[in-house]
Amino acid sequence: MFTILYVDGDPKMYPIISHIYENYGSVSVFPAGSGEEALGWLSNYHADVIVSGYDLPAMNGIEFLRTVHLRGISTPFIFFSERDCLQVQSDAYEEDVFGFIVRKGSERKPIINLLRLIMWAAGSRETEYPFSHEEHGT
């Protein structure tokens, strides 16, 4: 079982992510609506992977990532953001982000690609990618 801290300023995304991932069976998703809320959660719990958007209330995703690192938390961090800007991606990789996936609303393909990246970041040893049969029509 993987534990994901999912940080997003868009409350509509959490139910979509949690429904798909928790139905997959090996993922538990905990939501936070801001960097501050996520930092509070991290002071009491552990996540195998942190997934964050860029546009968060009060602090943006890069500031959140920096704060996570300043607190000595080395959990793999993945950006899942609608912000498709090379400068943001460059800043993220300078801060040692594990990965960056651009999403467009609630499109399915980026959500599935995110799950694959989460499994890789968490060290999954599964040989078949989740949902691979759906994409190949089998």
Contacts of 122 (CB under 8 A, 6+ apart): 2, 48, 49, 76
Contacts of 107 (CB under 8 A, 6+ apart): none
Contact 122, 2 (CB under 8 A): yes
Contact 61, 91 (CB under 8 A): no
Give residue 38's pLDDT.
Answer: 97
Helix axes 86-94, 61-70, angle to 10 degrees: 0
d(CA 78, CA 96): 10
Using alpha carbons, select from 124, 104, 62, 109 the residue that is nearest to residue 87. 62
What amino acid is encoded at 8 in this protein?
D
100 vs 138, higher pLDDT:
100
Q: How confident is the model at residue 22 (pLDDT cuts 50, 70, 90)?
A: confident
The domain made up of 2-135 has a fold known as Rossmann fold (3.40.50)
pTM attached to this predicted model: 0.87
Q: In this structure, what token pair is assigned to residue 59? A: 């602090």
Q: Where are the domains of the chain?
A: 2-135
50 vs 19, higher pLDDT:
50
Q: In this model, does residue 84 exceed pLDDT 90?
A: no
Q: In this model, does residue 119 exceed pLDDT 60?
A: yes
